Structure 1
């Protein structure tokens, strides 16, 4: 039904359309800003030149159309850690199990293929749907950064969560 593959340069126009949509960015920790296609191509080129520190995957539907992104960034091989990110582009693809699938697949890759020990994330405290997904997958809440991000004219909390290899349930991903 869904699958992951490494991000490709041809994905940039659709990603740019998502990143230019305020409705999606309002759910993420990043600030809204207008981003032209050249900036996204440079972002992609930077990723390709630093692939040892990040894994960025496109989430594809059964028609091989990109519907989201899932990533592990800031990979620290010495401490065996990484930072998790996910974005489901169009709202019509949300609440269909895409995020659950992609999160489990990238965690399986992190723990079983890359031998990482810890994957962490930060999420807007107001994004209850995302927090519920992370809870379901096995992430644990580690704390709150109070009023850490400026969104829509106000400062909001960021919830810090992590999952350890020993707590990752293989049954969840099968």
Structure 2
């Protein structure tokens, strides 16, 4: 999957040091729903092995620049439910130089194309920090709809934060 700026490919074991460096960036992790955790190479390798064993229900994609092939982010479709044709979406643009350039939108659109057009999914959901206006604006732009508010749903930085659940149906695509 690609466009003029980026292409997507499945993550590889060789991507783990870069992905781990992003996980170690507290400022970056502060924008995401998950908690900050120190993750060593052995844990990353076990995580990757687990992914290889669960590929039937999970898609983990590397976001790469078309011009240099540099890994700049990841997108995931997790917990694919083949009966109900749904999955959970997440994205991380880890390379600071790739942020604010439309790469996140392009990667999101390409991942959604894959989800709906190749995998025949019907519903893609996500949760986003209510304070992450930039991410919410991106998700709204590509067609996701807010479905409520999860009050004090995550503990980050010593306090509880709200999350916004959002979803996109195949019939609602823009």
Instruction: State the TM-score, normalizing by the size of structure 2.
Output: 0.96
CA distance in 2 between counterparts of 1:38 and 1:21 reads: 19
CA distance in 2 between counterparts of 1:42 and 1:147 reads: 31
Residues 1:44 and 2:52 aligned together: no
Residues 1:71 and 2:76 aligned together: yes
Please list every run of 5 or more consecutive structure 2 residues that lacks an aligned counterpart in the other structure: none
Deviation at 1:37, TM superposition (A): 1.3
Alignment of 1:33-112 (within 5 A): 33-61=37-65, 62-112=67-117
- Please give the per-residue CA displacement for 1:16-70, whole angstroms capped at 9, x wherever unaligned: 1110110110000110111111111111110011100100000001201100000
> What's 2:17 paired with?
13
Please list every run of 5 or more consecutive structure 1 residues that lacks an aligned counterpart in the other structure: 170-174
Deviation at 1:90, TM superposition (A): 2.1
1:150 is matched with which residue: 131, 145, 155?
155
Matched residue pairs, number? 169
CA distance in 2 between counterparts of 1:125 and 1:92 reads: 25
CA distance in 1 between counterparts of 2:75 and 2:173 reads: 18
> What's 1:164 paired with?
169
CA distance in 1 between counterparts of 2:42 and 2:70 reads: 22
Instruction: State the TM-score, normalizing by the size of structure 1.
Output: 0.96
Residues 1:120 and 2:121 aligned together: no
SS at match of 1:143: coil
> What's 1:172 paired with?
none
